[in-house]
Structure 1
Amino acid sequence: MLSIRTTPTRDVVSLDGLWRFALDSAVGAEPWLSRIVTSLEAPVPASYNDLFVDPAIRDHVGVVWYQREVRVPRGWAGERIVLRFGSVTHAATVYANDVLVAEHVGGYTPFDADLTGIVAPGEEFRLTVAVDNRLTHLTIPPGTVDTLPDGRLKQTYHHDFYNYAGIARSVKLYSTPQAYVADITVVTGIDGSAGVVDYRIETAGAEAADVRLRVLDESGATVATAEGAEGSVRIDDVHLWMPGAAYLYDLLVELVRNGEPVDSYILPFGVRTVEVRGTDFLINGEPFYFTGFGKHEDTPVRGKGHDDAYLVHDFQLLEWTGANSFRTSHYPYAEEVLDFADRHGIVVIGETAAVGLNLGVQGGLTGIPPTPTFAPENFGGETRNVHAQHLRELLARDKNHPSVVMWSIANEPASNEDGSREYFEPLVDLARELDPTRPLTYAAVMFATPANDKIGDLFDVLSINRYYGWYVFTGDLATAESVLEQELRGWVQRFGKPIMMSEYGADTQPGLHSVWDMPWTEEYQSDLLAAYHRVFDRIPEFVGEHIWNFADFMTGPGIHRVDGNKKGVFTRDRKPKGAAFSVRNRWRGLEGKKPDGPAERPAASEGNPS
């Protein structure tokens, strides 16, 4: 799926701004048939939950309505007119005036609605969107909805971040010619000092047109040309896209009829290769060691609403710490985030929204004995088909981003339980069919061990989430360090694959201090991370470390969460805790080094630096 861009043949109008907003209980039947009467307005993009003081809105389970008027530019006569949503959490039904134009399930991937012939250039239409935040066993992420005795709906879900909802990413109206470039796929390789770019162009529209393309370097000079919808071009003396040193070419694709361009589209891309060889993760044939974080799209007031100011500032903080990468935990992030990573050389692990496929976690938190996760009545039936569709949409959207070097199919699934292999093996096969160029991983939960995990051999990289010293052996870092090393060596011994830590950390209250190993203090967070780093440096097969989390984030209510999850090395408003400085010392010491073993890595910092 192509990003929306202005080109010589395409125009884009942003529909971001304030929309009329109402709960389903405040509107009558068929509210799309007329102007919604409401005093409430909600910004787009943003989650709606934290905007208003009414708890009935924050706690609402079900449908809310967004509405606004849209005027189609008068110059779009004879063009396709298309509506694009960056995401709607978690399901959307879209109406143009009284016509149903789109339905989409999945809160983190974009979708289009073709309005050609439904709306008219120069005229205004009423745009109405029903947004449904309910999570069930037929959604990714999953959840359950129960009816309370007083008739209210209660949402339960199995992941530890707040179920923000709304139109969280930009909405755009755009035009294309009737014959247009529908999709582009590029796969890059390296041949000596040259880059090789295999491409496939998909076109659509009633009238046939020829395809021609040019590759432009960053100065705008043409470095390669080709004709035809599928083929290969060679870039001599290629500038590679590298971590920390991004270089992007533009692929200019034109549909041509009688020698004249009918449609044009420009796709930025980078030339780079990714490979797992033995226990090494290679980018452009060189070993790469991941340093960085799991993150969240989470900010005060906006919830999961995309914000360019936070985007820029977060990447500044990544650079400040010396991080070279992050995982899009636990869902695909906004397209703007990946575009920014492409331009700035930050490596990304792209993850589906499949978090919560583990009823054992629920049992551990509630004390209620869990039922088998992959039983037919739970996630063993239609859920996998829904998961597969999310995987298709993620890979279709992000396949051309050079920053994305690996796909994570799920976070903390019950990979130790019966039925997990039957669930995941078809998804692994699908991912490899859709994109044979990128390695695959999943993030293993605490319950899955080297002895009982049933799916590790299906993947290329083992990503491990562990909280020794926090949830287990709380306050006992010596035992935590010993047990961690023993387990990680067990994963390596059984599977013989590269291994990385995809989550590790400790909740930390900023400003709380102690001279002892006291959980929740800033010193304890730093010391826990340092203990883990010592273990990483002793394991040659280790290829990366992603701390949980970059910044504190909001969660659902729970006695183990006070104003959210506090495992960030930055607060929710991006102020550094002591651990941020410790991590900065370590990662800046790793820059430019090939992490082959302890001799080439700096010692892990102990506590806060002076």
Structure 2
Amino acid sequence: MTDPFSSVPPTGSADPAPHPRPQLTRERWEDLGGVWQFAHDDEDRGLGERWFERGEAFDQQIVVPFPPESRASGLRASGYHPVVWYSRTVRVAPEDRAGRVLLHFGAVDYRAQVWVNGRLVAEHEGGHTPFTAEITPALGPEDTQRVVVRAQDDPLDLAQPRGKQDWEEAPHAIWYHRTTGIWQPVWLEAVPPTHIAGLRWTPDVERGRLGLHVRLNELPRQDLRVRVRLSLRGERLADDTYALGGREVERQIELGVQRVQARRKELLWSPRRPNLIDARLTLLDEDGAVVDEVGSYVGLRSAGVRDGRFQLNGSPYYLRMVLAQNYWPESHLAAPSEGALRREVELVKELGFNGIRIHQKVEDPRFLYWCDRLGLLVWGEMANAYVFTPEAQRRLTREWLDVLERDHNHPCVVTWVPVNESWGVPNLEGDPAQRAFVRGLYHLTRSLDPSRPVIGNDGWEIVEGDILGVHDYALDGATLRERYGSEEALEHTLRAVQPARRNFYLAGHHRQGEPVMLTEFGGLSHAPGESERWWGYGTLPDTDALLSRYEELLSAVLDSPVIAGFCYTQLTDTEQETNGLLREDRTHKLDPGRVRAITTRVSRAVQHDVLQEIHALADERRLEQLRGAAEQAAAPAED
């Protein structure tokens, strides 16, 4: 049978444009971005007046997927508009009706309802996570079909996970313009009646194997098998076929311990060598005919903590991260283009960082794709709410579960952070229920994904976590050296100094060998000139002074033998925040070569790790020599 997907470029080929869902791709899909009809519904009349059946209410146009508050949308309607509507027609080819037609949404903030030809096909809550509607039963006899979306996003609902989106009408302090409605890709996809609906990859570097979980959309009506082909730069690594006993199949693909250990540089994924294994999965019927076929990829790597250090692929790894809001001036949470997502990753690497902490945002999967391909570690963080209520807990937990499922397969993601700086748990110290919630999120995350470290609450008020993240905006290097210059100074700082004026340990928690990282520091800006709106933790008179102070702070952190990694605040200016290394338009404030040289200087902690490794190797060799001498001495007597 002719392969219907033979024209799909391999996922690991040179610079392919990313699919909106890059780890489960098919050939037949259509991007629905572009001009849609649009309407504000400030009085919330649309449902009662059945706008999903009528076209006259749509009196504006919008460019999808840009939020209506942004310039890129063509509207720049930044006021309070809690309900918005979208409409457009789409064409479904006759040949696609033989199977199923899926309508995918990358993200709609915050609550969405979708109709096709007046028939409700999907409802979803959660502003950062994807959802899919099967629209086949709603298709009319004509080629063109009408899609209508209603999005509800209450700007004053502080129980809604919102991250850095402001509840005031204009951005203030550290909060930014809101993002309402569609802000990630929308696309149509034609699939067979029975098809692959989900994939889960779980690398096991130590045992030299790769865990695979395949899920179908329905219980198959006949015996089916799934063929899995893995290759790396054209070399076949595996070609296995498994029978499905139901909707799901779970297997361990053996790559071989000796092969993995002998060829670590070629096979393992890391920022320096972002090796990606191409995967092709084919669903076969009992006669061997192709039922469905998808492309995917996987990075073979491990992430963990041990002996006070972060571990990548079983070895200590010093994290040099930068905090990123990933807001753009013209498009807010949405990226202005696919190229902008790649460029963001390139800029981070050009400045010498090996990782990025995406702050209070669940980023577009295409961004994670470029982190996978180009080699950049990511801390995945949830967008938090601002109040602690049962509804806020339910909302955040549901959405966080969707985040864990969506991003599990990305090798770049090496740490999960469900809560930041006690956002949404404002009385964490005084309320046992809030502590139980954070502790529960930590353990829930670890139970669903034991392959990555988890930080229950980053910054302060530690209840539970595999890494202790400290936020310290000291404005001079001398203070950082005093606080983090030794193990004794570190413990004194955490227990007595409390850099953010918050207790660091809560509920009797004490350090049990977890790595300590400075996960927010810096925040430096220079005087913004004529601008009336700006924000920074410390202001310098010009860019020369800014570079000098950056070097002063970084040198103090890198000279610490006890800090296992850092995250500098921040990558870019964002609206009124002018504390970025880059301007909001992504141009450089500082000489990137100088910044890179400062950022990449070897840390004292790394030197300590290297010396420890040398001593350990020396001890091992000496032990082997002693063991050999003892065996030789014992041999004559045994004879």
Q: TM-score range by the shorter chain?
A: 0.7 to 0.9
Post-superposition offset of 1:553: 0.9
Structure 2 gap segments, 5+ residues each: 1-18, 244-248, 261-266, 496-504, 531-537, 613-639
- Counterpart for residue 522 of structure 1: 543
Post-superposition offset of 1:390: 1.5
Q: Name the CA distance, whole Å, in 1 between partners of 2:528 and 2:189.
A: 49
2:308 to 258, 276, 279: 279
- 1:256 equivalenced with 2:284 (yes/no): yes
Post-superposition offset of 1:125: 1.4
Q: Name the CA distance, whole Å, in 1 between partners of 2:415 and 2:484.
A: 25
CA contact (8 A) 2:558 2:601 kept: no
Post-superposition offset of 1:245: 0.9
When Rg is computed on C-alpha atoms for both structures, the one with the higher figure is: 2
State the TM-score, normalized to the length of structure 1.
0.81
1:409 to 392, 397, 418: 418
CA contact (8 A) 2:438 2:456 kept: no
CA contact (8 A) 2:281 2:295 kept: yes
Residues 512, 506 of structure 1: alpha-carbon distance in 2 compared, 3 angstrom cutoff = farther
1:172 to 187, 200, 203: 187
Q: Name the CA distance, whole Å, in 2 between partners of 1:243 and 1:389.
A: 31
Residues 93, 331 of structure 1: alpha-carbon distance in 2 compared, 3 angstrom cutoff = same
Post-superposition offset of 1:584: 1.3
Post-superposition offset of 1:524: 4.6
- Counterpart for residue 395 of structure 1: 404
CA contact (8 A) 2:163 2:360 kept: no
Q: Name the CA distance, whole Å, in 2 between partners of 1:83 and 1:577.
A: 42
- Counterpart for residue 607 of structure 1: none
- 1:23 equivalenced with 2:23 (yes/no): no
Helix, strand or coil at the partner of 1:502: strand
- Counterpart for residue 241 of structure 1: 269
Q: What are the within-5 Å matches in structure 2 for residues 483-498 of structure 1? A: 486=489, 490-491=493-494, 494-495=510-511, 496-498=513-515
- 1:536 equivalenced with 2:548 (yes/no): no
Post-superposition offset of 1:191: 4.3
- Counterpart for residue 365 of structure 2: 335
Q: What are the within-5 Å matches in structure 2 for residues 308-347 of structure 1? A: 308-347=338-377
Structure 1 gap segments, 5+ residues each: 147-152, 358-377, 470-475, 555-563, 601-610
Mean Cα deviation higher: 210-219 or 477-486: 477-486
Post-superposition offset of 1:416: 3.7
- Counterpart for residue 448 of structure 2: 434
- Counterpart for residue 218 of structure 1: 232
CA contact (8 A) 1:442 1:463 kept: no
1:187 to 202, 218, 224: 202
- Counterpart for residue 90 of structure 1: 110
State the TM-score, normalized to the length of structure 2.
0.77
Helix, strand or coil at the partner of 2:103: strand
- Counterpart for residue 102 of structure 1: 122
- Which amino acid letter does the alignment assign opposite residue 468 of structure 1? A
- Counterpart for residue 424 of structure 1: 438
Residues 157, 527 of structure 1: alpha-carbon distance in 2 compared, 3 angstrom cutoff = closer
Q: What are the within-5 Å matches in structure 2 for residues 136-147 of structure 1? A: 136-141=157-162
- Counterpart for residue 379 of structure 1: 388
RMSD: 3.4
- 1:575 equivalenced with 2:596 (yes/no): no
1:505 to 522, 526, 531: 522
CA contact (8 A) 1:212 1:254 kept: yes
Post-superposition offset of 1:256: 1.5
Helix, strand or coil at the partner of 1:184: strand
- Counterpart for residue 268 of structure 1: 297
Post-superposition offset of 1:244: 2.1
- Counterpart for residue 552 of structure 1: 573
- Counterpart for residue 533 of structure 2: none
Q: Name the CA distance, whole Å, in 1 between partners of 2:462 and 2:523.
A: 28
Residues 129, 4 of structure 1: alpha-carbon distance in 2 compared, 3 angstrom cutoff = same
Post-superposition offset of 1:6: 11
Residues 157, 568 of structure 1: alpha-carbon distance in 2 compared, 3 angstrom cutoff = closer
2:77 to 38, 57, 67: 57
Number of residue pairs aligned between Structure 1 and Structure 2: 544
Post-superposition offset of 1:319: 2.2
Post-superposition offset of 1:120: 4.8
- Counterpart for residue 213 of structure 2: 200
Deviations 1:406-453 (A, max 9, x none): 1111121144443331121111121111111110025544xx4xxxx3
Residues 411, 196 of structure 1: alpha-carbon distance in 2 compared, 3 angstrom cutoff = same
- Which amino acid letter does the alignment assign opposite residue 55 of structure 2? R
Residues 125, 500 of structure 1: alpha-carbon distance in 2 compared, 3 angstrom cutoff = same
- Counterpart for residue 604 of structure 1: none
Helix, strand or coil at the partner of 1:540: coil
Helix, strand or coil at the partner of 1:428: helix
Post-superposition offset of 1:346: 1.0
Identity %: 23
CA contact (8 A) 2:560 2:603 kept: no
Q: Name the CA distance, whole Å, in 2 between partners of 1:397 and 1:271.
A: 18
Residues 296, 518 of structure 1: alpha-carbon distance in 2 compared, 3 angstrom cutoff = closer
- 1:466 equivalenced with 2:479 (yes/no): no
Residues 219, 579 of structure 1: alpha-carbon distance in 2 compared, 3 angstrom cutoff = closer
Post-superposition offset of 1:512: 6.4
CA contact (8 A) 1:477 1:531 kept: yes
- Which amino acid letter does the alignment assign opposite residue 277 of structure 1? R
Q: Name the CA distance, whole Å, in 1 between partners of 2:541 and 2:456.
A: 28
Q: Name the CA distance, whole Å, in 2 between partners of 1:265 and 1:434.
A: 25
Residues 295, 488 of structure 1: alpha-carbon distance in 2 compared, 3 angstrom cutoff = farther
- Which amino acid letter does the alignment assign opposite residue 381 of structure 1? P
- Counterpart for residue 305 of structure 1: 334
Residues 321, 34 of structure 1: alpha-carbon distance in 2 compared, 3 angstrom cutoff = same
Residues 586, 156 of structure 1: alpha-carbon distance in 2 compared, 3 angstrom cutoff = closer
- 1:45 equivalenced with 2:62 (yes/no): no
Mean Cα deviation higher: 261-270 or 527-536: 527-536
Deviations 1:38-82 (A, max 9, x none): 553211121221328999921123111221111112220221111
